[in-house]
Structures are given as structure tokens and as C-alpha cells.
Chains A and B, each alone.
Chain A
């Protein structure tokens, strides 16, 4: 059974710092991995999607990497801003049963 873990559960950093969020998964048989952002009381917004054959994806100040063999992904946020404060979730799409499994998220707070 696929399990997705995100560490840390919560993180506070001063504005301007670079930071890394971690995601690990137990079954490497995946189609892709997605990183989402969720603001309080809102739905999820997709940030980056990495196909299983890819190593990384970039969008603006965000960079996501994928090491499928070791079951790990990182989301790198450069030059953090208060507007980046949100919960970040990763999700893996399994190629065994077509399910998408989420981690519990990392709650990020950027201090002005």
C-alpha cells in the first residue's frame, strides 16, 4: 500500500530565505508526483507535476525534484515571500491501481 509522508509538518521561516519541503513515498511504481498549495478554507491548486520519467520541474521561484528509485521528492522555494504562506501537499499517482494518494502536508508560514 502506497504511503506518502511529508516532513516537516509545519515550518516557519523569515521572508527572503530559500527553503525545502520534503515528500517521501513507499512504492516507486508511480505515474507522476504533484505538488499542491492549499490556502486556509480553500481548495487545492496544482503547482508542479513531475512525470515518473522526469527528474525535476520548475515554475518561477519553485523547483520540484523527483528521485523515484529512492521514493523522494523535494519542493524548493526561492526567496520566500509572505504570500507563500500556505499548506503544501504532495500527491503520487500509482500505476498499480490508478489511485492518487496524498501526504498530510507541510504548513508553511513566512515571517514578514
Chain B
């Protein structure tokens, strides 16, 4: 039981490049989330998916897109990376919204030059 896994662990991009961050969970959870964590800003919700086939915007969705590929996988795409998107990205999952513990992945460190 791997829990929540994220790939890659670390990535360097040039401004304007695109990339997709991958997240998968093997706990049969329905809800999945993408956060970014910046010094002094805490964790901010980018997008979330309450169930397979649905996605919703969080606090800071601009510049990102998501895909809930199936129940296990939830990807985050940066179409044209900007230095302001340099951050640590965390994926999380929970069985259902509102009542359950969230489980977090180890994070992806992204540097945009």
C-alpha cells in the first residue's frame, strides 16, 4: 500500500515550458486535491476533485489545469510555466470530503527559471 505517490520529485523548467505533475493513490479514495506551498503562505488549494469525473477550482487556479484521469489518478498541468509558479506542490486524497483524514504525497519541488 503506497498511499499517495507523486512524480517527479524535482523539476526545473524554463519560463514558457509546459509540464504535468502526476499523482496517484491506492487507497480507493474518492476526493483528490492539489496544493502549492510557498514560504510564508502556507498551503493553498489549486484544484480539487470531489469524485471521479468532477473537478473544481480552489484558491489559486490561474495558470493550471487538472485532469481526473480515473479514480486513482489526478494530474496537474502547467501549460506555460512562469517564475511565480516556483513552489512545492502537494497532492492529497481523502475517502470523502468533509469527514475524513487527508493523506498527502511527498511533494514535487518545481523551479521555474
Asked if A100 contacts B90 (CB within 8 A), the reply is no
Contacts of A89 in B (CB 8 A): 42-43
Contacts of A98 in B (CB 8 A): 48, 50, 56, 97-98
Tell me how many residues of B have a C-beta within 8 Å of chain A: 27
Supposing A89-B43, A100-B33 touch, asked if A32 and B104 sit within 8 A by C-beta, the answer is no
Q: Output the least CB separation between B76 and chain A (Å).
A: 15
Among B90, B97, B105, B106, the residue within 8 A (CB) of A93 is B97
Asked if B98 contacts A95 (CB within 8 A), the reply is yes
Contacts of A101 in B (CB 8 A): 45, 59
B11 at interface by CB-CB < 8 Å: no
Jot down 6 A-B pairs with beta carbons below 8 A, ordered by A. A31-B99, A32-B99, A36-B104, A43-B106, A98-B98, A102-B35
Q: Output the least CB separation between B38 and chain A (Å).
A: 10
Contacts of B99 in A (CB 8 A): 31-32, 51
A95's nearest neighbour on chain B, judged by CB, is B98
Q: How far is the CA of A42 from the CA of B109 in the complex (A)?
A: 11
Asked if A44 contacts B42 (CB within 8 A), the reply is no
B: which residues have CB within 8 A of A? Answer: 4, 33, 35, 40-45, 48, 50, 56, 58-59, 90, 92, 97-107
A99 at interface by CB-CB < 8 Å: yes
Proximity string of chain A (7-27) to chain B, C-beta cutoff 8 Å, 1 when within and 0 when not: 000000000000000000000
A72 at interface by CB-CB < 8 Å: no
Q: Please tell me the size bucket of the interface on A.
A: 20 to 34
Asked if A46 contacts B43 (CB within 8 A), the reply is no
Asked if A99 contacts B107 (CB within 8 A), the reply is no
Q: Output the least CB separation between B42 and chain A (Å).
A: 4
A98's nearest neighbour on chain B, judged by CB, is B97
Among A31, A43, A91, A95, the residue within 8 A (CB) of B107 is A43
